[in-house]
Amino acid sequence: MTGRPDPTVATPDVPEYHQASHWGTYTVASDGQDITAVTPWAGDQDPSPLLRNLPGSVTHRSRIDGPAVRRGWWEDGPGPSADRGTGRGKGSYLRVSWDDLLDRLADEFRRVIDTHGNHAIYGSSYGWGSAGRFHHAQSQIHRFLHTLGGATRSVNTYSTGALEVFLPQIVCPETDVSRGSTPWSQIVEHTDVWLALGGTPAKNTGTNDGGTGDHPTRGALTAYLNRGGTLIGVSPLRADLPDHPDGGVTWIAPRPGSDTAFLLALCHTLLVNGHADHEFLSSYTVGHNHLNDYLRGHTDGIVKDAAWAAQLCHIPTEQITRTAHQLTTGRALITATWSLQRQQHGEMAIWAVVALAAYLGQIGLPGGGFGFGYGSMNEPGLTQTPFGLPSLPQGPNPVTTRVPVAALSDMLLRPGATIPYATGTITYPDIRLVHWAGGNPFHHHQNLNRLRRALARPDTVIVHDPYWTAMARHADIVIPSTTAAERDDFTGSRNGALLVAMHAATARHADSRDDYDTFTALADRLGIGAAFTEGRTSQEWIRYLYEEWRHRVTTDSAARDLRWPDGPPPSYDEFRARGVLRLPTVPARTMLTDWRADPTGHPLSTPSGKIQLTLPRDGVLTLPDRPHQPTWSAPAEWDEETSHPLHLIANQPRTRLHSQLDHGPLSQASKIAGREPIHIHPVDAAARGISDGDLVRVFNHRGHCLAGAVLDDTLRPAVVNLSTGAWYDPAAPTPVPVGDDSSTYDPLAPANLDVHGNPNVLTSDRRTSSIAQATTGQWVMVQVERYDPARWGPARPVRAHDPAC
């Protein structure tokens, strides 16, 4: 989308308020109770269509009106939910006063800490609840829990978990790749051939954590192709690539899960055809001879050539050899979206991307090398400001226990179990209290039926949320939070170089409160109020954070010499009046260019200071799923192809950010009879008697859901696409057993049919490997059939957005 989204433009006679979110900078018009219209920031060349979801969001019927407590917990006390008559995910809620709720909540924190210790609290805030620098759910809950004595918390992300853990072991930290990525300007000017694993889906680049300003991706892609650049996109979905009237775009659609084999075959073809850069490999990498042996089949007797990969990828041999040749015709860039590592053995796909770039020998040269995340978020490709932005101090966490975020269900179901992780091990704590703010794991997490069993185990689950999401419906204590439109704040991101004042545009909805006010009242009851607030109200904190940052960047000698596009940062009051402050940026630089120029003076953070094409076999590295070099292993999910023959791609939706504002106008307009759309190739639809617009049942052995069929010939046959983010809505929630024994729980029972189309009832809770323990939720094997009401009964209407209390 280019230009301003017409349905959201405000009329001139209505006052506007500066606002910002993860998907843009804008002003909103308000009637005092809700957002009525949105106008994108004038400096945004391609405003995100997600802005269309904002009008009507403040007073939507799915808002939580006031404090609510599950009747079973209130009357019977804390304990695993299956021990009470009204367990999580079912039963009724009571409306209670704020004072009564906070008193009981303080008592429960004291009980858990005194009896089990702070490590028995799991304090999570995985999500994109607000882009604000102060009203940031993760900062708020972590500051509170750290002041209280600490809590177990998650590490890594669902988006980049494998990259975060594994990339530093072989080349450099993930943040160096995302924040220090080669900028669009250099790609447009210098790159000749761009091999994009996962494509370059511009729909994902509308968003950025911490907020965003300009959206340059579509313009940069157009400029690159106009210059004559070649884009080779590797994805089962043609929609992951741009269209261009003069060509320049090649679509390769391998079988999902085969990317590593494709990359290794490219390396082999370069090697045997004499196109591998041996001088670069010898000077800048460690272990290339071992990888050469593996590619040639000396290690396991299997030559990793194009013919071998073609059988695994289900694409022609000639397509692989032709791609390898194209990469040698000019400056080549190898990139992968985050989707590539969100699958079993995702670490190997990462390693193979880096290895292919090393074989080409152009890492550190303008427009060459590798990158991750282009097409996954707005951050890669943007230049960054050289200093940090204001943030609420969280303080140190006295509890050192950390658990990978994708291991949430496993942690709750197997307390005391020890798992390998990174270069060591982790022992799961015995979690008794889950405190969640600012996220919805029923969107992010996999195998939702297992997650429901896991959430039945703790004594107490507390959730802060503005809306009755599935996570709120599985809580014992539901705390109604405000949205960004209801409070003052400011936000910004280093990549994108913008700081934006956020003005409260509406009154607080019903009896909701800012999380800061909730935590302040709870901290007072627990005797840590002064330490938590430091004597400041929220307005005083916002002013303090800005002014402290302003003083820091204007007195630092390096920052003082920078060119500020709008002049030096003004006073807080002037900043709020302006609304937008553009920040200075560092000069555009190719990633790893300093290391390329002087590898001794600027070594990488790896043990050798070079790119590791092999890793040592010691300690936990001797585990079977931790190979010595980039290695091909077939995903276990392929074993299910006989009974569930369709590859389901569970990607980011184009009509919302994750599950946020699923009830919004843009998101709702994409539904088919109220259900999430599933795209299916006409050949696969015809074989199943499915027509466009039919209600279908999507299923495997983990669960089943309903969706609306959309016939689409722009995806690979035997592939279906059901995006994430539809709010989980089981037909009739049933009791779940405590523990990991699912013998009394049938995920395929009619009552457990998700009627809305959430693909995570189908995805596997299996993790990438023992290296990163990251998510594998990108794709899964399924079967699709027309919905049969004679077997399953009339399809229940979607009620996910109705209030629970």
Tens of pLDDT, residue by residue over 535-579, are 999 999 999 999 999 999 988 877 767 889 999 999 999 999 999
Per-residue model confidence (pLDDT) at position 617:
72
Question: For the residues 151-167, what does the mean pLDDT come to?
Answer: 96
Q: Are 659 and 725 in contact (CB under 8 A)?
A: yes
Query: pLDDT tens across 296-326, in order?
Result: 999 999 999 999 999 999 999 999 999 999 9
How far apart, in whole angstroms, are the C-alpha atoms of residue 459 and residue 76? Answer: 11
State the average pLDDT over residues 236-249. Answer: 94
How much is the pLDDT for 4?
35
Element (H, E) at 222: helix 217-226
Q: Which helix (H) or strand (E) holds 611?
A: strand 611-612
**Least confident segment among 42-56, 84-98, 220-234, 344-358:** 84-98
Mean pLDDT throughout 176-183?
86
Q: Which helix (H) or strand (E) holds 226?
A: helix 217-226
Q: Are 475 and 761 in contact (CB under 8 A)?
A: no
Q: Do residues 584 and 506 lie in contact, with contact meaning Cβ atoms separated by under 8 Å? A: no
Per DSSP, the residues of 443-508 read HHSS-HHHHHHHHTSSSEEEEEESB--HHHHT-SEEEEBPPGGGS-EEEEETBTTEEEEE---SPP
Percent of the chain with pLDDT over 90: 85
pLDDT interval class at 90 (50, 70, 90):
low
- Residue 178 has a pLDDT of 79
pLDDT at 1: 32
Band of residue 229 on the pLDDT scale cut at 50, 70, 90: very high
Residue 784 has pLDDT above 80, yes or no: yes
Told to judge if 728 belongs to the known catalytic residues of this protein, a careful annotator would answer no
Is 284 tagged catalytic? no
The pLDDT tens digits of the residues spanning 648-658 come to 999 999 999 99
The span from the CA of 29 to the CA of 453, in Å, is 43
Q: How confident is the model at residue 7 (pLDDT cuts 50, 70, 90)?
A: very low
Work out the pLDDT band at 9, boundaries 50, 70, 90. Answer: very low
In the chain, % of residues over pLDDT 70? 95
Choosing from 128, 224, 467, 787, the catalytic residue is: 128
Work out the average pLDDT over 785-800.
Answer: 96
State the average pLDDT for the chain: 93
For the segment 129-149, what is each residue's pLDDT rounded down to a tens digit? 678 999 999 999 999 999 999
Which of 460, 435, 458, 480 minimizes the C-alpha distance to 96?
A: 480
Average pLDDT over residues 725-749: 81
pLDDT beyond 60 at 501: yes
Encode pLDDT of 429-471 as tens digits.
999 999 999 888 999 999 999 999 999 999 999 999 999 999 9
pLDDT, tens only, 370-381: 999 999 999 999
What is the structure's pLDDT at 174? 87
| Predicted structure pTM score | 0.96
Q: Is the pLDDT assigned to residue 8 strictly greater than 60?
A: no
pLDDT band, very low/low/confident/very high, at 169 (cuts 50, 70, 90): very high
pLDDT at 14 over 80: no
- Under the banding of pLDDT at 50, 70 and 90, the label for residue 620 is low
Residue 789 DSSP one-character state? H
700-724: per-residue pLDDT in tens?
Answer: 999 999 999 999 999 999 999 999 9
Q: Lowest-pLDDT range, 235-239, 512-516, 605-609, 696-700?
A: 605-609
Quick check: 740 and 771 in contact, CB under 8 A? Answer: no
